[in-house]
Amino acid sequence: MAFQSKDGKSFGSKFVAKRRDTEHDKASQVMGATSPEPAMGAEKPAANEPEQKPQENPDQVVATHGPASTIHVAHDHKAGKHHVISTHPDGHVHESEFKSAKEAHDAASKLSGGDQPMSEQPEAAAAPESDGFAMPKLA
Domain count, the chain: 2
Tell me the pLDDT tens digit for each residue of 60-103: 888 888 898 899 999 988 888 899 999 988 888 889 898 898 99
Q: Are residues 102 and 65 in the same domain?
A: yes
Sorted by sequence, the CB contacts under 8 Å of residue 7 that are 6+ apart come out as 20, 24
In angstroms, the CA 59 to CA 54 distance is 15
Whether residue 25 has pLDDT greater than 50: yes
Q: Please indicate, yes or no, whether residues 14 and 66 belong to a single structural domain of this protein.
A: no
Give the global pTM: 0.46
Q: For residue 90, tell me if it sits in a domain.
A: yes
- Per the domain annotation, does 14 fall within a domain? yes
Is 22 in the same domain as 65?
no
Residue 37 lies in a domain: no
Q: Is residue 65 part of a domain?
A: yes
Q: Is residue 48 domain-resident?
A: no
Q: Which residues pair with 83 in a beta bridge?
A: 74, 97
| Domain region containing 68 | 58-119
Is 87 inside a domain boundary? Answer: yes
CA distances from 139 to 71, 72, 121, 126 (A): 21, 21, 15, 12
CA distance 139 to 45: 48
Residue 15 included in any domain: yes
Mean of per-residue pLDDT scores for the chain: 76
